[in-house]
């Protein structure tokens, strides 16, 4: 079992993209699903679905064909959580990427949290 499921998710997606796969699967969790909702809404991935494999649920992620060289960086780790106030949230790759932040109002892109005046835990940067 992986001790950091979000880092595991980022690694699976990074490896699948590098191997030129159209999709990848990973164990299901609610937090991963919330992160994928943000990635789909910002067109970093095409879609995702919850698939029942045996007795466990999995997330199947279908990649956007136009975005083949995505990078997923884990910012906040289980051993060192990184929290930022809304005014401290910065652009990722000069606006070409997004940060995914867990706020009191849910998981959202960094610029949305900044616009709403919300801070939170910076989980991933995708660019």
Say whether both 49 and 18 belong to one domain: yes
Helix/strand/coil for 69? coil
Answer yes or no: are the C-beta atoms of 122 and 91 closer than 8 Å: no
Domain that holds residue 35: 5-63
Angle, nearest 10°, between helix axes 30-41 and 5-18?
50
Say whether both 49 and 96 belong to one domain: no
User: Using one digit for the tens of pLDDT, what is the confidence trace for 80-126?
Assistant: 999 999 999 998 988 789 999 999 999 999 999 999 999 999 999 99
Say whether both 89 and 117 belong to one domain: yes
User: Which distant-in-sequence residues (6+ apart) come within 8 Å of 64 by Cβ?
Assistant: 43, 44, 45, 46
Q: Give the domain-ending residue among 63, 86, 108.
A: 63
Say whether both 77 and 99 belong to one domain: yes
Q: How far from 3 is each of 6, 9, 17, 111, CA to CA, in Å?
A: 9, 12, 23, 29
Say whether both 59 and 81 belong to one domain: no
Q: Give the domain-ending residue among 13, 30, 63.
A: 63
* Structural domains counted in the chain: 2
Specify the pTM: 0.91
Say whether both 97 and 49 belong to one domain: no
87 phi/psi in degrees, rounded to 5 = -75, -10
Say whether both 81 and 122 belong to one domain: yes
User: Using one digit for the tens of pLDDT, what is the confidence trace for 35-63?
Assistant: 999 999 999 999 999 999 889 999 999 99
We report the CATH number of the domain holding residue 23 as 3.30.1370.30
Say whether both 49 and 84 belong to one domain: no
Q: What Rg value do the Cα atoms of the chain yield, rounded?
A: 14
Question: Residue 96 and residue 32: Cα distance in Å, rounded?
Answer: 22
């Amino acid at each position: 079992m992986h001790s950091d499921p979000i880092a595991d998710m980022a690694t699976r997606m990074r490896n699948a993209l590098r191997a030129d796969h159209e999709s990848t699967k990973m164990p299901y969790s609610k937090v991963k699903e919330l992160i994928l909702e943000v990635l789909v809404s910002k067109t970093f991935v095409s879609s995702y679905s919850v698939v029942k494999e045996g007795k466990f649920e999995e997330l199947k992620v279908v990649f956007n064909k136009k975005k083949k060289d995505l990078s997923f960086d884990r910012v906040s780790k289980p051993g060192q959580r990184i929290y930022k106030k809304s005014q401290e949230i910065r652009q990722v790759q000069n606006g070409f990427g997004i940060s995914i932040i867990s706020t009191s109002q849910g998981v959202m892109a960094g610029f949305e949290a900044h616009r709403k005046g919300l801070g939170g835990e910076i989980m991933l940067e995708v660019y």
